[in-house]
Amino acid sequence: MGAPVTIALDAMGGDHGPSVVIPAASLALIRHPEMRFVLVGDVARIDAELKNDPQLANRSEIVHTDVAVAMDAKPSQALRRGRWKSSMWLALEAVRDGHADATVSAGNTGALMAMAKFCLKTIQGIDRPAIAAIWPTVEAECIVLDVGANVGADARQLVEFALMGAGMARALFNVEKPSVGLLNIGVEEVKGVDEIKKAAAALKESPLPLRYKGFVEGDDIGHGAADVIVTDGFTGNIALKTAEGTAKQIGEYLRAAMGRSVLSRLGAVLAQGAFRALKDKMDPRQLNGGIFLGLNGIVVKSHGGTDATGFASAIDLAYDMASNDVVKRLASDVGAFHAKLELEGAA
């Protein structure tokens, strides 16, 4: 990419609004000093924060609006009230109109997805957008999708998720043919996962730019079994939250165990560097951000309750996606895939 990456930030989204979003932009700017921002929201509140960082102020354009989407708004309601004028909408519009390369919002997921679909539209050839998460593994990281955009997915959608996940992995992990696994359960007698079986057959046969690795089970995800793990949004969301909950639970066990005797407390003091490394590794803020895939534009959803460190990770992710031109590459992959399908259908 020649031009510097510009990220549009929904400054009013999330539990804390500009007081988190603007300091997060400062953090991200340290890492990518050539970045530019479009900051959308209440100009007075944004300015109050920008005063602390003239460098950031220099590289930012402010788009004022006093409409913000409530964190508990229903998607249909948010769309009706917030379209054309809310900070969420205007940040998306900046991407649509080419003023920005990606949007980051910590607003309400449902509202953001509804507005993003309406504003940016789905990539031609993609049935439904998905939300992808970056999942830490013992090897490195993998991409899991869908983690909550849709309940259920048919075989075609699962194949599209595989294609989109692979495109994202190619851009972010720098692998030519990312490996893809389909999340399934290992119990032999079980029938009824017909859509997954059909998707498996399609992935096995079709000449996609990916290596299909077969079915994977829940414990394979963190083990690093594949670059991309494909599942429907219901299962993916529950798997993701279960993993987050388990990590938190073990953190509590660890704290309790280390405090139980003088010796163990002393050991904990000596090993505090190690614990810090472990804590960093398990810090959900390091991998904060659901990526909306399948739209004509990059949208990253940050956790609503995150702090500046977490929101800055979401900005980093948007930066990586934008500077690797993921949307253009995805659209071309999808186009090539559908062209091949048609050729095969015609043959």
By CB under 8 A, what part of segment 183-242 binds a second copy? 183, 185-193, 217-223, 231, 233-235, 237-242
Residue given tokens 């991200």 in the structure block: 28
Residue 175 is a binding residue for a second copy (CB under 8 A): no
Q: How far is the CB of 241 from a second copy (least distance, A)?
A: 3
- What is the C-alpha separation between 313 and 288, in angstroms, rounded? 6
Q: Phi and psi of 116, rounded to 5°?
A: -65, -40
Q: Which is nearest to 5 in space by CA: 44, 39, 47, 33? A: 33
Least distance to a second copy, CB of residue 110, Å: 3
Q: Which C-beta is closer to a second copy: that of 62 or that of 247?
A: 247
Integer Cα distance of 314 and 303 in angstroms: 9
| DSSP three-state, residue 52 | coil
Q: Which is nearer to a second copy, 52 or 246 (CB)?
A: 246
Backbone angles phi, psi at 206, to 5 degrees: -80, 150
* Residue 305 touches a second copy, criterion: CB under 8 A: no
How many residues contact a second copy, by CB under 8 A?
A: 74
For the bound state, the minimum distance from the C-beta of residue 141 to a second copy, rounded and expressed in Å, comes to 12
Does 261 sit near a second copy (CB under 8 A)? yes
- Nearest approach, Cβ of 319 to a second copy (angstroms)? 25
Separation between Cα atoms, residue 272 and residue 50, nearest integer Å? 36
Q: Which is nearer to a second copy, 43 or 287 (CB)?
A: 287
The torsion of the CA quartet 119, 7, 298, 306, rounded to 10 degrees, works out to: -100
**287 touching a second copy, by CB under 8 A:** no
Nearer CB in complex with a second copy: 75/209: 75
Stretch that binds a second copy, among 133-141, 201-209, 322-330, 339-347 (CB under 8 A): 133-141
Phi first, then psi: what are they for 86, rounded to 5°? -75, 165
Q: Which range touches a second copy (CB under 8 A), out of 3-11, 49-57, 251-259, 339-347?
A: 251-259
The residue assigned the tokens 């003239």 is 54
Do 212 and 158 meet the contact criterion of CB atoms below 8 Å apart?
no
How far apart (Å, rounded) are the C-alpha atoms in residues 7 and 4?
A: 10
Q: For residues 241 and 328, which CB has a smaller minimum distance to a second copy in the complex?
A: 241
Piece of 25-33, 80-88, 202-210, 271-279 that binds a second copy (CB under 8 A): 271-279
- Grouping H, G, I as helix, E, B as strand and the rest as coil, residue 230 is strand
Instruction: Return the range that interacts with a second copy (CB under 8 A); candidates 18-26, 45-53, 90-98, 136-144.
Output: 136-144
For the record, the structure tokens of 303 come out as: 């956790």
Tell me: does residue 258 bind a second copy (CB under 8 A): yes
Site for a second copy (CB under 8 A): which residue of 44, 201, 271, 339? Answer: 271
Candidates 11-19, 135-143, 165-173, 292-300 — which segment interacts with a second copy by CB under 8 A?
135-143
Give 72 or 176: the residue with its C-beta nearer to a second copy: 72
Between 78 and 104, whose beta carbon lies closer to a second copy? Answer: 78
Query: Residue 258 corresponds to which tokens in the numbers above?
Result: 């280390």
Length of the chain: 347
3-state secondary structure of 54: helix
Question: Running DSSP on this structure, what letter comes out for residue 67?
Answer: B
Which listed residue (176, 252, 345, 346) binds a second copy by CB under 8 A? 252
